[in-house]
Amino acid sequence: ELRAFELTWEEWKAAGDLHDILKVLKDATLYFSCAGTPTLATVIPAMDVINMVFAMAAVNNIKFLAPIHASLLVAKGMLNHYYQLTDDSDVYRIAIVLHPVHKLDYFEQVKWEHAWI
């Protein structure tokens, strides 16, 4: 009777894909939980990592099943929305510049145009 609940190959593939994609979110969550109170200077670089993973996965539509690929595109769109909000925020730039690790180097690493820095 339990065989009726056995996962198919496609369901196992979807579970593996979800594991791979959601790992970056789990890692970010654990990082913020251990680090104490997240600040803009720590959240934005973490968003950069999440964005990079989602972007690479979204263009790699051969590897992922269609529902996973569609979800990645939606997630990437949501990240882009929040990135656009930071573009209009002076607080974001100030927080990064004042952080002792990042300073102006962060903006060069993420390839901002020099006119924006």
pLDDT tens, position by position, 37-47: 777 778 888 88
* This prediction's pTM: 0.73
> CA 64 to CA 71: how far, in whole Å?
10
Q: Hey, which of 4-8, 57-61, 93-97, 102-106 has the most confident mean pLDDT?
A: 4-8
Query: Does position 60 have pLDDT exceeding 80, yes or no?
Result: no
Among the ranges 72-76, 84-88, 99-103, which has the highest mean pLDDT value?
72-76
Task: Record the tokens describing residue 112, joined without a space.
Answer: 């901002």
Cα–Cα separations (whole angstroms), residue 35 to 27, 53, 93? 12, 22, 21
